[in-house]
Amino acid sequence: MTTTEGVIPSSGSKGDSVDDSGMDGADVSLMDEARQPLSRKVNIASSLINPYRMVIVLRLVVLGFFFRYRILNPVPNAFGLWLTSIVCEIWFAFSWILDQFPKWFPINRETYLDRLSLRYEREGEPSHLAAVDVFVSTVDPMKEPPLVTANTVLSILAVDYPVDKVSCYVSDDGAAMLTFEALSETSEFARKWVPFCKNFNIEPRAPEVYFAQKIDYLKDKVQPNFVKERRAMKREYEEFKVRINALVAKAQKVPDEGWIMQDGTPWPGNNTRDHPGMIQVFLGHSGGLDSDGNELPRLVYVSREKRPGFNHHKKAGAMNALVRVSAVLTNAPYFLNLDCDHYINNSKALREAMCFMMDPTVGPKVCYVQFPQRFDGIDLHDRYANRNTVFFDINMKGLDGVQGPVYVGTGCCFRRQALYGYDPPIQPKKPSMACDCLPGWLCGPRHSKKKSGKSKKTEQKKQPPVRTDSTVPIFNLEDIEEGMEGYDDDKSLMMSKKNFEKRFGQSPVFLASTLLEEGGVPPSASPAGLLKEAIHVISCGYEDKTDWGLEIGWIYGSVTEDILTGFKMHARGWRSVYCMPRRPAFKGSAPINLSDRLNQVLRWALGSVEIFLSRHCPLWYGYGGRLKFLERFAYINTIVYPLTSIPLLVYCTLPAICLLTGKFIIPTISNIASLWFLGLFLSIIATGVLEMRWSGVGIEEWWRNEQFWVIGGVSAHLFAVIQGFLKVLAGIDTNFTVTSKGSDDQDQFAELYLFKWTSLLIPPTTLLVINLVGVVAGISDAISSGYSSWGPLFGKLFFAFWVIVHLYPFLKGLMGRQNRTPTIVIVWSVLLASIFSLLWVRIDPFLIRATGPDQKLCGINC
């Protein structure tokens, strides 16, 4: 396989060689600018990061002294409680170390889009930017509204990138005729929408979001006809919405005879579990032009074959089918995957990714560029931490300074060759020095006498291939007949036909496409032949006895296939890049309802448990490879975090037990011992404050993340651990429903207050009740016992209030809407009423107290 440097025009390549003679100063400066790197790494300022690292070290020291005191000072009258708390605290410390140390080297990155254009888009020449295939996945059009998917597709078709370099593939894994017809309507509307976006340079290019913006849309617009064109386009879009709504209304009731297409034939996907593969090319090189007569990007509908008795591997299987279809039809060297509700918010997002992928210095070893997830439609205070900014703005930046961020399932641009299971190119070793006593610039490189006599030709023959993979045997393409014509055979001597087919499957056209690092299809290939081959590679039996899902493509074995897929690439030595443009590249929707949010977290946590119990567990997989130590730490954290739910549930129960029994997990502490407790709390606060300082995350976002860590930990994560072990050890599978996307236009946050009962609500509700009861019981006992009992009570109350405060958003979700009595008022009313009632009973002011014998002691004999 050739190297990436061989396909990227660079300052030293033949395609970029420029004779500077005859150029004026401006041209020379432009050429110098084009030769500059396309991106750069920006380290966090030392004044921000060094105090952060010092506090982490200090926190480790304090933790050591804290555990020394806790272990050496047991509580005799509450030994069980003390031992339980010690075990929980040790696990929390271990979990914190796994989470903290991968954030030791956080970085930012900058891209230079102007340099990218200067290097690859010269005036008067065709664009040399790499082609990109975009994958959009959808399953159920009733839960993933077709209008949402249509907006995502429209934002892709209108992206600021050469149209002949962009292809959009929509995977309909539910084989729904509604999705097919909606995509047909979308392709027609795109003929008007795309030129409007490009003529007036609007952002974002998803029409639903663009027309809903409450901003001055005339700002920076100078074209006289813009207002007229915008008004006309808005009416066109409203008519388009009505047509989509009509399709949705028609699809509510399925006819007895099944769906019938316009030509009178039955819809092939009437049986969603037993249907053939379907591919339809709506736009692109077949002649689809926009209203201005310009070519549009290719738009392809794909529904893979499904038959009973086959394991289709859910989303991972659908994505692998798209990889093969796109390789046969367009074979772009890079592809971007998006969920159906994640539209392109920044039309230059593909260019941002290419600044890393096509950089001659950085690009060859980059397997994917991950963008942060940003969301629309979330309530102002982000009650359930849907934005997840702590993860995307802190953890991911930290990983970018190690070996790169983890893959999060959407908003990610891949290098196709990396997903095919190849190793990254091997960097040539630096020449050794002639002596060790002087700097290299004085000694020069060490040359061997034997080697110096050999010709350059002999040296080139002895050089190993730049990209090597011990798992890929050498093959000979002489036996791969059809589908190979027109392909470059420079890479064709690497593995036998038999082993090659065992790895990638029996498709000559697809096998040939895997050899082309630059991508593309042979000019001699006929569209009809390619479509026939594309149908073949999405057949349900194509992956049998191949490496799909095992070593190449999206990896099977977990509902969170994204973690496994990224982990396999990092284990081979690839690195990833985290790209955070100022204008978010993509935006999507998130479930703002409490029950839906917990079910979403449950699915993620269950996937982590599945990986923990599989052969791909980072605790034991990939040693001896090129996975960096801190990167392994991060992956271990992604698969063990659900296990924290068990000690967390126990620890949140301890305050109520202590208040109800009058015992405590800590003995009476001395002044010196109290310093370790105080130091631990201060170091925890300082770590959070300094993290917010260098990352830019707000205090409310950080606090919401802390609260939902407890809420999700004692509910979704706990159920994930139970279900994960049942699934792996007992074979009891769990089916997940697709999270609904979109909300009611009449009330943007109506879903936030909708109560949906689920068993996930039981553990946190129980914790709230027993801790509230414990607080009331503890205070009433202190009132009965006298002044001396209030001192020990404060520690227990602090412990209980820590649990209640963290579960407060959960309690608010149970209580109701904004226009009702505030939840905090209800909580304090219940607490104060209970305490006042107990005091009233204790004092009993209306009872006349008479002196004399106690009737309870002497009874009727008084």
Catalytic residue among 172, 341, 562, 596: 562
Pairing between β-strand 298-303 and β-strand 412-415 as defined by DSSP bridges: unpaired
Residue type, 47: S
∠ CA(48), CA(54), CA(59), 5° rounding?
A: 125
Residue 339 is assigned to a ligand binding site: yes
Q: Nearest CA to 777 among 832, 838, 820? A: 838
Catalytic residue among 133, 173, 341, 423: 173
CB 244 within 8 A of CB 188: no
Tokens of 491: 């890479």
Q: Is 27 noted as a catalytic residue in this protein?
A: no
Residue 314 is assigned to a ligand binding site: yes
**Positive/negative CA dihedral, 231, 236, 238, 239:** positive
**Separation of alpha carbons 814 and 817, rounded Å:** 9
Strand partners, 171: 137, 302
Tokens of 3: 């190297």
**Separation of alpha carbons 34 and 112, rounded Å:** 10
CB neighbours of 465 closer than 8 A, spacing ≥ 6?
Answer: 1
Tokens of 307: 């038959």
Q: Is 173 noted as a catalytic residue in this protein?
A: yes
Strand partners, 303: 278
CB 446 within 8 A of CB 434: yes
**Separation of alpha carbons 842 and 819, rounded Å:** 37
Q: Over the range 4-27, which residues count as b (16 or more CB within 10 Å of their CB) and which as e?
A: bbebbbbeeeeebeeeeeeeeeee
Residue 173 is assigned to a ligand binding site: yes
Give phi and psi for 343, each to the nearest 5: -90, 160
Q: Over the range 172-195, which residues count as b (16 or more CB within 10 Å of their CB) and which as e?
A: bbbbbbbbbbbbebbbebbbbbbb
SS3 of residue 338 by DSSP: strand
Give phi and psi for 119, each to the nearest 5: -80, -40
Residue 137 is assigned to a ligand binding site: yes
CB 511 within 8 A of CB 480: yes
**Positive/negative CA dihedral, 84, 89, 90, 92:** positive
Residue 127 is assigned to a ligand binding site: no
CB 710 within 8 A of CB 767: no
Binding annotation for UDP-alpha-D-glucose: 137, 143-144, 173, 314
Binding annotation for Mn(2+): 315, 339
Q: Catalytic positions, please? A: 173, 562
